[in-house]
A and B are shown apart, each in its own frame.
Chain A
Amino acid sequence: MDYLAMGGYGFYVWGSYGVAALALLIEVLSVRTRRRRAVAEARMDEQEGVTLPNVSEVLR
């Protein structure tokens, strides 16, 4: 318990490490979600036939 108390500064030290860890975790999760949503919407484009055709195939 002495260690966790950090000489009386526990709130500040663990608070700092905790804020940093939480912020980084939220960032990683939010980027993952963003990518998943982007891929899902791109997949819908493909299914709806919105995708531009490959120019070289069109010209053939």
Chain B
Amino acid sequence: MSINWYKFASPASFYPLAGRLIPWFAMGAAVLGIVGAWIGLVIAPTDFQQGEAYRIIFIHVPAAWMSMFLYLVMAFWGALALGFNTRLSAMMAQAIAPTGALMTFIALCTGSLWGRPTWGTYWAWDARMTSELILLFLYLGVIALRNAIDDPRRADRACAVLSLVGAVNVPIIYFSVKWWNTLHQGSSVSLTAAPRMAAIMLTGMLIMSIAAWLYAIAVVLMRVRAIIVERERGSAWIAQLPELAR
């Protein structure tokens, strides 16, 4: 049995599929989030240098990774929307922006709270922090741009262009600690070298990262379902949805 995946490019087909997927991702996020928080707050030992303050890493790093990944995914859907003129691609991009903005906000807040006890300051205009702040402005700009344009299809194209232009910021954030002298520490986790942190801490971070991914997917799918109903109003298939019947 081969599935015709292209049929899910239609909002009407994707809507019920997304509805069936959401509970799985939500449950996975909840379970892994609890396990990760347990590791981060209880099991992982006290850090030699930072004491208990380092435990913020289990929130800060997954949120920061998500803020960057989600932006790239949003730009990817925007590129598809521009290239193939598909409505659902644009709706996916539209659904991602608020979650991406939230992850960026969490990364900035927790980073600030972590910086105060360890660096002595809530904020510094170093390369990584500044470029992450710009990422937040980009997310908010994409959301604001959509609200500013009446025609949804024009808004789709404008937001896609803005997302793609802003995507250059993501590698800047990532490589900032390598390219510039920054207050922010260099990367402890690499794809090629052995990690320079205790195994249990790394495990906790990875579990929280997976939890963040599952959460983001669940929330984005929830939001895209709301967007589909908003934008496909008036269609016959919407009128026949079971949730509409009182």
Contact = CB atoms under 8 A, between A and B. Distances in A.
Interface of A: 6-9, 11-13, 15-17, 19-20, 23-24, 27-28, 31-32, 34-35, 38-39, 41-43, 45-46, 50-54
A13 B223 contact: no
24 contacts: A6-B52, A6-B53, A9-B51, A12-B53, A12-B56, A13-B41, A16-B59, A16-B109, A19-B109, A19-B110, A20-B59, A38-B227, A38-B230, A38-B233, A39-B229, A39-B241, A39-B243, A42-B233, A43-B246, A45-B238, A46-B239, A51-B238, A52-B235, A53-B236
Contacts of B106: 19-20, 23
A45 B233 contact: yes
B52 A51 contact: no
A23 B53 CA distance: 21
B37 A31 contact: no
Given A13-B55, A19-B109, A27-B219, A45 B239 contact: yes
A28 B219 CA distance: 7
A48 B81 CA distance: 32
Interface of B: 37, 41, 46, 51-53, 55-56, 59-60, 63, 98-99, 102, 105-106, 109-110, 113-114, 116-117, 215, 219, 222-223, 225-227, 229-230, 233-236, 238-239, 241, 243-244, 246
A45 B230 CA distance: 11
A13 B63 CA distance: 15
A42 B52 contact: no
B234 A27 contact: no
Contacts of A46: 239, 244
A27 B233 contact: no
B222 A42 contact: no
Contacts of B226: 31, 34-35, 38
Contacts of A17: 37, 41, 59
Contacts of B235: 51-52
A31 B222 contact: yes
A20 B52 contact: no
B114 A51 contact: no
Given A17-B37, A23-B106, A41-B233, 19 more contacts: A6-B55, A7-B51, A9-B51, A9-B52, A16-B59, A16-B113, A24-B215, A28-B222, A35-B223, A35-B226, A38-B229, A42-B229, A42-B239, A42-B244, A45-B234, A45-B239, A51-B238, A53-B236, A54-B236
